[in-house]
Amino acid sequence: MSVKSVEQLLKPQSIAVIGASNQPNRPGNAVMRNLLQGQFDGPIMPVTPHYKSVNGVLAYRSIDELPIVPDLAIICTRATRVPAIILQLGRKGTRNAIVIAAGLDNLFTAQGTNLQEQMLAIAKEWSVRILGPDSLGIIIPALGLNASYAHINALPGKIAVVSQSSAVCVTLLDWARRRRIGFSQFISLGEGIDIDFDEILDYLGRDSQTSAILLYIDGIHDGRAFMSAARAASFNKPILVIKAGIYLESSALTSRLPPEQIGNDAVYDAAFRRAGMLRVGDLRELLAAVETLANGKPIYSEQLVIIANGNGPSAMAVDALLQRGGRLATLDESVVEQLQPLIHSGGRATNPINLLGDASPDTYQKVIQVLLQSNSIENILIMQAPSALTPGEVYADVIINTYKNYGGRKPNLFANWMGEDAAQNARLRFADANIASFRTPEGAVGAFMHMVQYRRNQKLLSETPESISDKVPYQPHTAQTIIAKALDENRNQLTTVEALDLLKGYGIKTQNESIDMPRSQRKGAYPLRVQVQIDPVFGPVILLGEAASHWSVRRNAVVALPPLNMALARYMVIQALAEGKIRERELYVPLDMPSLCLFLTQISQIVIDHPAVRNLLINPVLAAGEDIHVLDVSIDISAEKNSCPLAIRPYPKELEESFILRDQRKILLRPIRPEDELNLQAFDNSQSKEDRYKRYFAELPQFSHEQMARLAQIDYAREMAFIAVDSDDEQQEKILGVVRVQIDPDNTQAEFAMAVRSELKGIGLGSRLLQKMIDYCRAQGTQTLIGCTMLENSGMANLARKLGFSVKFNREDGLIDMSLNFQEANKSNL
């Protein structure tokens, strides 16, 4: 991954258009026209042997003749010329190219190599990054840059769009222009064979000009890279995604991969949820979501207040809300009492509020003022059917002015002005006022529920999982011995006895142990099916549903990506119940959530510990209250390395180590886990006021649950935090110290921060923590480890110097800068 190369691509200082043309309807002509009509202030250099000038700009016959090295080249030629052009650009020194041509993988050299492979090999040799092929280009409104062949430009705004489909790009541009919605970045990935979603997400997640991200996806090439980047970005800003190809037949239309490599759409669903993203179903929902992102703000309540001028529209809105799992807000009695005198006889002062068809703009204004003054209302949908008494834009102006001029805390406001011609001017007024407006009640409610679902996904990301008891058996070596024996005998499947013994090693009750379960209890048990299989995009996945001989993943199962903890397993079970994949029956013993969740986490641990497992099928497993028994299991294995590993890097248990402090206390030093949140909170609370000030450079209040969860739930693929823990006689852990690093996506620089309990300084704990992080960063290939502390914290500076850091005192800023360059350190050690 390289954020630097993406930044060079999206912030070029000079541009060359290879294959520029004066002929209309040619990409080389459209790109030049768009570049010149923008406000890009760098050199624009057409390259073509056919014209002396293009659109009035002096042209160059070849890349070699260019007077300067362009930061970006847009290649508008036919596909057969692209590899040679990449070679010429590489020799010239250009490092970024957009390839508009498609179909390079279907064209071959005389040696049998397809042109796409040839192009990539040349690009890698000369360090040229490629956007495309089949890219529409990029549009960066803040730079006045339209480096695309789109028929229309984008307005400036705060939403970034990244799409694999050029057709979706131009549709969004056309629709947004009319709705006066703008964008921070508009990026057409095309086939994304080089620069892909992961690098773009890494860049956009840090881009201050982008407040929300919208993705259109045909398919993902690298599941782990995508998940790591998406999870990091979604912690900072909402990400909405639409993916084509729910069924294999439609996936084949948008993918150049063979069917067995496309990946299951249900697994994509699970991946999007796990990354905290929100998936929308179709282009209509996507456009509504754009409207909400452009004009809305985060919601803090899922309850909605509806105002309408008729029962019919409000009934449609309530139906749509309840069908999607939303909730109507209950108005306080004081609010109802204030509303009743404002509404004519026959209307309604409770939610949904009916102002009747003859309601005047003045009535709307007074009702809205009452609702704005209520601190209990978070979300308001205002609806209006066309009125013959007053134009719709008059009502819109009153609502906009009332909302804008209110000085207190404002709830989220949505508008639904129904109709076409009669409502068009009103909707434009709302767009200019940055208030989301919609044509239909269902569209408005759907947009609100997008925000609700996004909030739920984010809460799931920060949920603190329950710790698993150390009393649960855990014998991975036994399982490894069983698998190794089978592989030595050239078998790719375990016997039933071997498979059952493997499960026993993880504390799972099996057929032989289920004799004690009464026959009556078996009859009342839920017969479930749990399966592990390998997805070609996201690697091992876990499926849960009811036992059946014929199974469809989308129809019969819910899907989750390992690793699972108790919170994620609980969400998986709740999803299965909500979607009817597990049906609750009166004659069955009720499901015991903790027991079933523990079972799923045990299956997850098997997947993590044993990459040789290719398929694990338990059908059935009987769940009767706390009793979970496996009746039948089959396990397929392979000695070959899995080409598609876990999409999310699991807890790196191999980094655990024990050591003895100077006071002879035995300490465990290990990576942090999500379950550590409460102990981490206790550690932070134990810090003295002075130590907290030194660590955070300010007097900060105690962290919220969401903030602390973010510190405990890290992505081991891009960040690390080690904690030193001590256990009492009851095996209750206590955190004594923490060191963490944030590593940039290029792995060039990592910044560390460290804290030790105030009463435990001077016994070697800080030194051991920091050395652990130094060793970790060196093993990861990080180039430089940096940190800073306050001038008063001389102890930290002395420790850093002792461990090889260069230390500089920056008295102007009141800071001490610490830096450890691993390449220089390695040379000095030699």
Q: What is the three-class DSSP state of 76?
A: coil
Q: Are 596 and 623 in contact (CB under 8 A)?
A: yes
Report, as an integer, the average pLDDT of 618-630: 92
Residue 203 in contact with residue 177, Cβ under 8 Å? no
Handedness of CA 559, 565, 566, 568 (dihedral sign): negative
| Separation CA 385–CA 311 (nearest Å) | 11
The CATH class that applies to domain 476-637 reads alpha beta
Amino acid letter, residue 494 = L
Torsion 411-279-197-465 (CA) sign: positive
Note the pLDDT of residue 514.
Answer: 45
Whether the Cβ atoms of residue 742 and residue 670 lie closer than 8 Å to each other: no
238 secondary structure, DSSP code: -
Q: What distance in Å separates the CA atoms of residue 595 and residue 622, rounded to the nearest whole number?
A: 12
Which residue is associated with the tokens 């009743």? 340
Predicted local distance difference test score (pLDDT) of residue 409: 87
Task: Answer yes or no: is pLDDT of 512 > 60.
Answer: no
Q: What confidence tier does 46 reach under pLDDT thresholds 50, 70, 90? A: very high
| 361/298: higher pLDDT | 361
The predicted model gives 522-550 an average pLDDT of: 91
Residue 387 confidence (pLDDT): 83
Q: pLDDT tens digit string along 189-198?
A: 999 999 999 9
Does the pLDDT at position 185 exceed 70?
yes
Nearest partner of 540 among 477, 486, 603, 484, judged by Cα: 603
pLDDT in tens, 21-34: 999 989 999 999 99
Q: Which residues pair with 621 in a beta bridge?
A: 528, 630
Give me the pLDDT at residue 588, please: 85
Query: What amino acid is encoded at 669 in this protein?
Result: L
Q: At the topology level of CATH, where does 296-461 sit?
A: Rossmann fold (3.40.50)
What average pLDDT score do residues 303-330 get? 94
Calculate the CA 91 to chain-centre distance: 37
Top-tier CATH class for 653-829:
alpha beta
Q: Distance between CA 144 and CA 155 in Å, rounded?
A: 10
Q: What is the mean pLDDT of residues 748-754?
A: 94
How much is the average pLDDT of 667-681?
Answer: 95
- Indicate the average pLDDT of the chain: 91
pLDDT of residue 258: 66
Burial of 444 (0-12, 13-18, 19+ CB in 10 A): buried
- Answer whether residue 513 shows pLDDT above 80: no
Q: For the chain, how far is it from start to end, CA to CA, in angstroms?
A: 30
Assess contact for 183 and 176: CB atoms under 8 A. Answer: yes
Of the chain, the percentage scoring pLDDT greater than 70 comes to 95
DSSP 98-126: EE----GGG-B-TTS-BHHHHHHHHHHHT
For 797, the 3-state DSSP assignment is: helix
525 or 98, greater pLDDT: 98
Contact indicator for 46, 75 with CB cutoff of 8 Å: no
Max mean pLDDT among 284-298, 437-451, 796-810 falls in 796-810
What does the pLDDT read at residue 520?
Answer: 46
Which is higher by pLDDT, 312 or 524? Answer: 312
Above 80 in pLDDT, residue 461? no
How long, in residues, is the chain? 830
What is the average per-residue pLDDT within 413-419?
92
| Mean predicted confidence (pLDDT) in 90-116 | 94
Whether omega before 361 lies within 30 degrees of 0, making that bond cis, reads no
Q: In what order do the strands lie in the sheet with 15-18?
A: 44-47, 15-18, 72-75, 96-99, 129-131
Nearest to 609 by CA among 475, 460, 444, 476: 476
Per-residue tokens: 694? 């030194």
CATH number of 1-134: 3.40.50.720
Q: For 318-332, give one letter per residue: b (16+ CB within 10 A) or e.
A: bebbeeeebebbebe
Confidence tier at 1 by pLDDT (50, 70, 90): very low
Q: Is the pLDDT of residue 506 over 70?
A: yes
**From CA 60, how far away is CA 18, in angstroms rounded?**
9
Kindly report which listed range (257-266, 702-711, 744-753, 780-789) carries the lowest average pLDDT score: 257-266
pLDDT reported for residue 825? 72
pLDDT (average), residues 150-164: 94
**Dihedral angle at the C-alpha atoms of 588, 590, 595, 597, nearest 10 degrees?**
100
Domain definitions of the chain by residue range: 1-134, 150-274, 296-461, 476-637, 653-829
Q: What is the mean pLDDT of residues 16-25?
A: 96
679 close to 735: Cβ distance less than 8 angstroms: yes
For the domain made up of 150-274, give the CATH fold.
Rossmann fold (3.40.50)
**Mean pLDDT of all residues in 592-607:** 95
State the Cα–Cα distance between residues 560 and 562, nearest whole angstrom.
Answer: 6
Residue 706: predicted pLDDT = 84
Q: Identify the three-state secondary structure at position 261.
A: helix
- Segment 189-218 shows an average pLDDT of 94
Q: Tell me, what's the pLDDT at 518?
A: 54
H or E stretch covering 357: none
Question: How far is residue 336's CA from residue 342's CA, in Å, rounded to a whole number?
Answer: 10
Confidence band of 552 (pLDDT split at 50, 70, 90): confident
Q: Answer for the pair 280, 289: CB distance below 8 angstroms, yes or no.
A: yes
Is the link from the previous residue into 536 a cis peptide, with omega within 30 of 0?
A: no
CA–CA gap between residue 8 and residue 310 (Å, rounded): 55
Same fold, 296-461 and 476-637: no
Helix (H, G, I), strand (E, B) or coil at 537: coil
The amino acid present at 366, given as its one-letter code, is: K
Structure confidence at residue 366 (pLDDT):
96
Phi, psi of 78 (to 5 degrees): -70, 160
Q: Is the pLDDT of residue 217 over 90?
A: yes
pLDDT-derived band at 250 (thresholds 50, 70, 90) equals low
User: Residue 631 in contact with residue 621, Cβ under 8 Å?
Assistant: yes
Does residue 340 surpass a pLDDT of 50? Answer: yes
Q: What is the 3-state secondary structure (H, E, C) of 674-696?
A: HHHHHHHHHHHHHCCHHHHHHHH
Both tokens of residue 506? 């993880």
Rounded to an integer, what distance in angstroms lies between the CA atom of residue 821 and that of residue 812?
Answer: 24
